[in-house]
């Protein structure tokens, strides 16, 4: 039975780069509380708009990484050079998404979670860059298999960055839940 460890690495990288944001507007905020309700509605609108912007960024990233995954599928089995090329393409897509994220002005309620998510994304992309650089000197076969096994070590930079990205996404979901905005983040792992 032949496994496809390169494809598994690609799928893990894609799943972490792309955190799916499913946003649903709820405009039925008619509770007749006067100015307090108006202020609450304005704050909710600001948060909803922010999360809709995140959804747009995610959509572009998802489309780009989907194309990369489709082009790479089947070519990664034991080819370190192809895996490196794929990781570099994923890193480019992730950098573009982080640039878009950086342009967003998060509402005060989401500012800390936004900064943490951006920092975790940057660390994850740095870990992917590290993997791509390590692959420069890796030969196909047992050496490549050993390299891939090393990426699964819970203490590896890659796994730590993966865990941090997951935690940042979950923290953002807590902000969403606390705000009352009807948005569900589907964290990557």
| Confidence class for position 43, pLDDT limits 50, 70, 90 | low
Q: What tens digit of pLDDT does each residue of 76-111 get?
A: 567 888 888 889 998 999 999 899 999 999 999 999
Question: At residue 135, does pLDDT exceed 80?
Answer: yes
pLDDT band at 56 (very low <50, low <70, confident <90, very high): confident
Give residue-wise pLDDT tens across range 144-185.
Answer: 989 988 988 999 999 999 999 889 988 988 887 888 777 776
Asked if residues 48 and 29 have their Cβ atoms less than 8 Å apart, the reply is no
Burial class (CB in 10 A: 0-12, 13-18, 19+), 130: middle
Residue 79 has a pLDDT of: 84
d(CA 73, CA 70): 5
CB 91 within 8 A of CB 125: yes
Mean pLDDT of 69-79: 71
* Tokens encoding 130: 């590290």
Q: What is the pLDDT of residue 138?
A: 92
For residues 14 and 69, is the Cβ–Cβ distance under 8 A?
yes
Rounded (10°) CA dihedral 188, 25, 96, 136: 10
């Amino acid at each position: 039975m032949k496994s496809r460890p390169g494809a598994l690495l690609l799928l893990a990288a894609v799943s972490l780069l792309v955190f799916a944001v499913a946003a649903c507007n709820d405009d039925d905020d008619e509770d007749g509380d006067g100015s307090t309700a108006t202020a609450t509605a304005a704050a909710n609108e600001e948060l909803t708009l922010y999360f809709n912007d995140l959804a747009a960024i995610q959509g572009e990233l998802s489309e780009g990484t989907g194309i990369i995954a489709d082009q790479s599928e089947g070519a990664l089995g034991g080819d370190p050079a192809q895996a490196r090329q794929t990781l570099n393409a994923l890193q480019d897509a992730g950098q573009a998404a982080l640039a878009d994220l950086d342009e967003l002005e998060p509402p005060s309620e989401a500012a800390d979670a936004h900064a943490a998510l951006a920092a975790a994304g940057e660390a994850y992309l740095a870990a992917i860059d590290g993997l791509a650089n390590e692959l420069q000197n890796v030969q196909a076969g047992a050496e490549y298999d050993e390299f891939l096994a090393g990426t699964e070590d819970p203490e590896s930079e890659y796994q730590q960055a993966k865990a941090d990205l997951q935690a940042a996404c979950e923290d953002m979901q807590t902000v969403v839940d606390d705000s009352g905005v009807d948005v569900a983040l589907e964290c990557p792992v």
